[in-house]
Chains A and B, each alone.
Chain A
Amino acid sequence: MEGFFQALAAGLLIGAVYGLMCVGLGLIFGVMRVINFAHGDFMMLGMYAAFYLFTAAGIQALFGNTVGPFVAILLAGPVLAVFGYFVHLALISRVSGTRTASLEGEGHYAQLILTLGIALILQNGGLIVFGSVLASIRTPLSSSAWELVPFFDISIFLNKARSIDAIVSLAIMILLSLLITRTRIGKSLRAAADNPTAATYMGIDVDRAHRIAFALGCGITAIAGGLLATNYPFHPFVGLEYVIVMYAGVVLGGMGSIIGAFWGGMTIGLVQQMSTLILPTQLQNAAIFAVFLLIIFFRPQGFFGRMVERT
């Protein structure tokens, strides 16, 4: 019984970070309808950005070992958002948005090749620049825990770093959903996603909306990556390990639903941690995809996907 609650808590904590990671990708897919294979590698860059901001940019000296990593992780978001903004401006915008009308297969083939190419360049470029040694952003909090006693005879240990990771993820998620649902810019992103042509008639610059979505998506996933790095070491090819989980989360949440991607990621975190109760750890990822297939079998549109014709 104690094991069950312990796994549930661990699943919720990691699930919140996975959720945030998936939301970054879900935002890009939802608004732009571009399958970004390089998203895991943008996350890898986010991890290294947080790492170097912490160690080399003086944040460690300024904020110390406990608070410092989280400051660096939060700053990695804007850094990757700017990077994503220019990647979209220079490359992605050439095969997406208003350009798709003149491309074969609505630009999807070109998008596939381009994002795969970007992924390869980032992975191998990362290997040259960062080297192959494992890096990590460990804090003293990564190896200490709070003890929680929800019932009189059960106690659960919450890793402090992971708990803060989850809280940061939730806070960013809340800010993002406020941005998407309440602000003019968020509404215009949704309008551009719903119907790019009609959005143009309204005076919305669809390519600019896509650029904002891409930058935001990169920044959000970079923060999620930094948070994961407080507990998991990383290397230039780490994106490959996560990009599949990201896509599974986005599909589970419902393609096109930004909030859904969060719950998709949460589900994956829960399944991953809960599966350790009955399966050996090596089968964690197999369990994720078994549950994934099961859910998709009964609900092909995902949790929040709608089976409506797009007008």
Chain B
Amino acid sequence: MLRIEGLSAGYSAKPVLNDVSINVGAGQFVAIVGPNGAGKTTLFKTISGIVKPSGGEITFDGIDLLAVPPPQRAHLGIAHVPEGRQVFPSLTVMENLEMGAMTESGRRDWQANIERIFEWLPVLKERRNQFAGTMSGGQQQMLAIGRGLASSPKLLMLDEPSMGLAPSTADFIFERLIDIRRQSGLTMLLVEQRVAEALESADHGYVLEAGHVVLEGNNDTLRADDRVRKAYLGM
């Protein structure tokens, strides 16, 4: 569904991403793990069009994504749940969800989507008239995920949903994501620093270090790899 081929990108002459190739098949749950500064967020920003690549290709559903203007990419079915949540603070929870549903499919499926989102993340229903800026970090993260789901995406991209959250909250959000995936069969691309949890539930994983994909494989291969065990799993 999403094919990234030899992608290089960055903010100045020195690239943050160097010849990165990643493949996400329809229905797959793919995790990208790696340390801070590896280029994980830059990769997502390049997919969404906020960062311009200096080389390489991205195709989504057979469409050359780099030729599509950034605001149009959401309309193709890519939902980006950004790092640090980035909800709209002066909009209510409900209005944030409506912003997620700006896409044609999001508008069409609004009723069904909102019911499912409230079922998965009941706190959003309780607080639907509250301003997003006044909610806790965990609640904002759930809103960011709900906002992504409201667009009826084909691909849900999650950038460190556990960032800055209490471990128990992060665990809860992970469980919810796994439930959502099991019930909806949605294709997901996850970037995460919590390597053990990310690899456990993913079909396929990539290890990104200093802008390079240093390792890839399914969850057993990665977890059996000595470097991953030492560096990320603490074994």
In the bound complex, CA of A202 to CA of B150 (Å):
10
Q: In angstroms, how far is the closest chain A Cβ from the Cβ of B152?
A: 12
Check: A200 CB closer than 8 A to any chain B CB.
yes
- Please tell me if the beta carbons of A202 and B74 are within 8 angstroms of each other in the complex: yes
Give the residues in chain A near B84, CB-CB below 8 Å.
Answer: 311
Check: B48 CB closer than 8 A to any chain A CB.
yes
In the bound complex, CA of A208 to CA of B71 (Å):
10
Partner of B89 from A184, A194, A202, A204 at Cβ < 8 Å: A194
Given contacts A188-B99, A191-B91, A203-B103, whether A311 and B74 have CB atoms under 8 Å apart is: no
In residues 80-111 of chain B, which contact A (Cβ within 8 Å)?
A: 80, 82, 84-91, 95, 98-100, 102-103
Partner of B99 from A202, A206, A308, A310 at Cβ < 8 Å: A202
Check: A132 CB closer than 8 A to any chain B CB.
no
Give the residues in chain A near B70, CB-CB below 8 Å.
Answer: 98, 200
Give the residues in chain A near B72, CB-CB below 8 Å.
Answer: 203
Give the residues in chain B near A310, CB-CB below 8 Å.
Answer: 89
Check: B49 CB closer than 8 A to any chain A CB.
yes
Check: B10 CB closer than 8 A to any chain A CB.
no
In the bound complex, CA of A212 to CA of B90 (Å):
20
Partner of B133 from A204, A208, A308 at Cβ < 8 Å: A308
Count chain A CB atoms within 10 A of each CB in B69, B91, B99, B151 and give the residue with the most. B99
Check: A195 CB closer than 8 A to any chain B CB.
yes
- Please tell me if the beta carbons of B82 and A190 are within 8 angstroms of each other in the complex: no
In residues 253-310 of chain A, which contact B (Cβ within 8 Å)?
A: 306, 308, 310
Check: B154 CB closer than 8 A to any chain A CB.
no
Q: How many residue pairs bridge A and B at CB < 8 Å?
A: 78
- Please tell me if the beta carbons of A191 and B50 are within 8 angstroms of each other in the complex: no
- Please tell me if the beta carbons of A194 and B151 are within 8 angstroms of each other in the complex: no
- Please tell me if the beta carbons of A308 and B74 are within 8 angstroms of each other in the complex: no
Check: B147 CB closer than 8 A to any chain A CB.
yes
Interface residues on B, range: 20 to 34
Partner of B88 from A98, A198, A203 at Cβ < 8 Å: A198
Give the residues in chain A near B73, CB-CB below 8 Å.
Answer: 203
Closest partner residue, chain A, to B85 (CB atom): A311
Count chain B CB atoms within 10 A of each CB in A184, A198, A203, A308 and give the residue with the most. A203
In the bound complex, CA of A204 to CA of B90 (Å):
17
In the bound complex, CA of A115 to CA of B75 (Å):
34
- Please tell me if the beta carbons of B99 and A187 are within 8 angstroms of each other in the complex: yes
Closest partner residue, chain A, to B98 (CB atom): A187
- Please tell me if the beta carbons of A197 and B82 are within 8 angstroms of each other in the complex: yes
Give the residues in chain B near A98, CB-CB below 8 Å.
Answer: 70
In the bound complex, CA of A208 to CA of B89 (Å):
21
Partner of B50 from A184, A188, A200, A208 at Cβ < 8 Å: A200
Q: In angstroms, how far is the closest chain A Cβ from the Cβ of B163?
A: 13
Give the residues in chain A near B74, CB-CB below 8 Å.
Answer: 200-203
In the bound complex, CA of A201 to CA of B80 (Å):
6
In residues 178-197 of chain A, which contact B (Cβ within 8 Å)?
A: 184, 187-188, 190-191, 193-195, 197
In the bound complex, CA of A206 to CA of B102 (Å):
13
Give the residues in chain B near A203, CB-CB below 8 Å.
Answer: 71-75, 102-103, 151
Known pairs A190-B88, A206-B71, A310-B89. 5 more at Cβ < 8 A? A98-B70, A190-B91, A194-B88, A194-B91, A205-B69
Q: List 30 A-B contacts (CB under 8 A).
A: A184-B98, A187-B91, A190-B88, A190-B90, A190-B95, A194-B88, A194-B89, A194-B90, A195-B86, A195-B87, A200-B48, A200-B70, A201-B74, A201-B79, A201-B80, A201-B82, A202-B102, A202-B147, A203-B72, A203-B73, A203-B74, A203-B75, A203-B102, A204-B99, A206-B71, A308-B133, A311-B84, A311-B85, A311-B89, A311-B133
